[in-house]
Structure 1
Amino acid sequence: MLLNDTDLRLSEYGFERRFDDRGAIQWMQQNWSTSFVFSALYAALVFGGQHYMKPRPKMNLRRPLVLWSLSLALFSIIGAARTGSYMFHMLSSSGFRRSICDQSFYNGPVSKFWAYAFVLSKAPELGDTAFIVLRKQKLLFLHWYHHITVLLYSWYSYKDMVAGGGWFMTMNYAVHALMYSYYAARAAGLRVPRPFAVLITSAQIAQMAMGVTVSGLVYRWMQHGDCPSHLHNIAWAGLMYLSYLLLFSNFFYRTYLRRPDSTKAKSQ
């Protein structure tokens, strides 16, 4: 079933209406493996950059970081609003199951442009790590692992228009809207209350838990023939989201819950 709602079409902007989703999907089917090239170059530049920066002083880069984070925040806010409106329509008109299994997110009004913009954005988002490396900040495994796997999975899945994509992309847009807004404020020197940082990590954990849930539902409903996907895609999605859930939960614990070592405190 593909959604075709004239009321939603009335809310489209011209560039969304004119977007060639068929051409985009065809291009991705032919070029999705380029994501491996981007990932390899990214890894080489990240770890090579760390080696290069080791004997050199860290860079400030405050203004470029503000502009970078602010631009990604605006992109994510608009993407979340547009895809969110589409998913809300799907939920209210067709129900939860259809919102997961329907492929119209990839070629429907409003969402088709933002679905393609989402998968393409995962390549330039790799630039986040350049600021960490050049400013000689601590690079977490969670950071670079997340960047590489999201890029690979997004490009791989878009070409097949697999079920669950609407939820995956909309959640990511929404969380990134919060995250990059926080980064922009911090880079600009603004004091952001600690609870806001806790909120962002909590939202990330909720996103990953929902990702595992959606993957499981796609597998369950695929057996009935109305939730198009592939077993290997579901397996990768489930493992990916489960690994994120564990890593973000561990980060939350170490950052916000764990108390200082009492033994060390007594010895000082």
Structure 2
Amino acid sequence: MLSWQPGRTPFSTFTGVAFTMAMYLTVVLGGRELMRKYRIAPMELRKPFVLHNVALSLGSALLLACMLEEILPIWYHHGFFAAICAESSWTPRMETLYIFNYMFKFWELADTGFLVLKKKPLAFLHVYHHSATALLCFSQLIGRTSVSWVVICLNLFVHVVMYAYYALSSLKIRCPWKRAVTTLQILQFILDLAVVYFASYCHTVAAYSLPLPVMGSCAAGKEHAVASGCTILSSYLVLFVIFYRKTYNRKPSRAKVTVSPASGSPAARSPVREKDQSEVLTSSYKRVTRAGGLSAPSDAEKRPNTPQLEEAGKR
């Protein structure tokens, strides 16, 4: 756990990570179907869920503080470019903290377990994000990309806020900042991509001696670490923006469509109630009577013979 040793550190081989992710998908998807098939009632699990979220929020805050304690002096003394690109920025202590953060990703898989046991919907974004993040952390540990701390620190900060929100919500404490959490996640990925694409550009130009302007080389022990980092983070941004638009930008329908009993065809419901329509028709009869000297309509005449108004009268 203190240093990355493939084959000895937990989940340090691709086979082990792939098998774990396959088991994760099997358990959560299979568990959901079993609960549905056998009609198992949703479980409350309030206390374990609160404890889980509080622990993750506090753990993320502690790990974030440890990482900033290590990286901020490097940034201060050598500059931001050196902090994200120099090989010396991958210190032994930072590697240990990266491993701890990687272990957190397997702990966070329990989020989906709670959703299954509580019979909550399993969104594709949720399942994909949890499984892909573990693979992302694994690839960056193998690739020894010095820029990793930017992505991890932003993610830890978001998790401090997000898991605190989940804990408060489960305690029935009103939290009006659900939308702010999603906005914060999207902002996180925008910043991630800005820094990661810049570091990837510097690495590619320096590694392949391309005739392009560059500040210097960026450390990356494996090429797949560069590609996987850019690809997974880009997919996160796209999926979270789609989720935000579907969740928070829904436009209310202007008119409800109903089916006319007489014709069977859909018709837009008027904002005027049926009772008000009968009152309008009655008043129009009275105006015609006063203007043309016609006799006042009877009660039967006041109510037009339409199925809609007859049904309204019954109600």
Q: Same fold (TM over 0.5)?
A: yes
Structure with the greater alpha carbon radius of gyration: 2
Gaps of 5+ in 1: 1-18
1:163 maps to which of 146, 160, 170: 146
Q: Distance in 1 between matches of 2:7 and 2:151?
A: 18
User: Structure 2: 5+ residue runs without aligned partners?
Assistant: 208-216, 258-267, 271-315
Partner of 2:62, secondary structure, is helix
For 2:9, what is the secondary structure of its paired residue?
helix
Structure 1 residues 107, 147: closer, same or farther in 2, change over 3 A? same
More helix by share: 1
Counterpart position of 2:70 = 86
The aligned counterpart of 2:119 is 136
CA distance, structure 2, for counterparts of residue 59 and residue 191 of structure 1:
22
Aligned equivalent of 1:176, options 159, 162, 177: 159
- The residue type paired with residue 18 of structure 2 is F
**CA displacement at 1:135 relative to structure 2:** 0.7
Where 2:122 maps in the other structure, the secondary structure is coil
Cα deviation code 1:145-201 (max 9, x no counterpart) = 000111112112212312321111111111111111111111122111x2x222211
Aligned partners of 1:211 and 1:238 also within 8 Å: no
> How has the CA–CA distance of structure 1 residues 259 and 93 changed in structure 2, closer, same or farther, with 3 Å as cutoff?
farther
Instruction: Tell which has more relative contact order, 1 or 2 (C-alpha 8 A, sep 6+).
Output: 1
CA distance, structure 2, for counterparts of residue 150 and residue 205 of structure 1: 15
Question: Pairwise mapping of residues 1-268 of structure 1 onto structure 2 (< 5 A)?
Answer: 20-21=2-3, 23=5, 27=9, 31-54=13-36, 55-109=39-93, 111-192=94-175, 194=176, 196-222=177-203, 223-224=205-206, 226-229=217-220, 230-264=222-256, 267=269
Aligned counterparts of 2:92 and 2:79: Cα–Cα separation in 1: 17
CA distance in 2, matches of 1:183, 1:69: 7
Aligned letter for 2:99? Y
Quote the sequence identity (%).
27
The alignment of Structure 1 onto Structure 2 pairs a total of residues equal to 247
CA gap of 1:61–1:228, structure 2 versus 1, over 3 A, is: same
TM-superposed CA distance for 1:53, in Å, is 1.2
* Distance (whole Å) between structure 1 residues aligned to residue 135 and residue 103 of structure 2: 11
- Aligned-residue CA RMSD (Å): 2.4
- CA distance in structure 2 between the aligned counterparts of 1:88 and 1:76, rounded to whole angstroms: 18
Deviation at 1:206, TM superposition (A): 1.2
For normalisation by structure 2, the TM-score amounts to 0.71
| CA separation of 1:20 and 1:63: change in aligned 2, threshold 3 A | closer
Does the CA contact (< 8 Å) of 2:58 and 2:160 recur in 1?
yes
For 2:166 and 2:145, the matched residues in 1 are separated by 32
C-alpha change, 1:22 and 1:237, in structure 2 (3 Å) is: closer
1:69-118: per-residue Cα shift (whole Å, max 9, x none)? 11111101111222133333333222221221134454344x34321100
Aligned residues of 1:21 and 1:107 also touching (Cα < 8 A): no
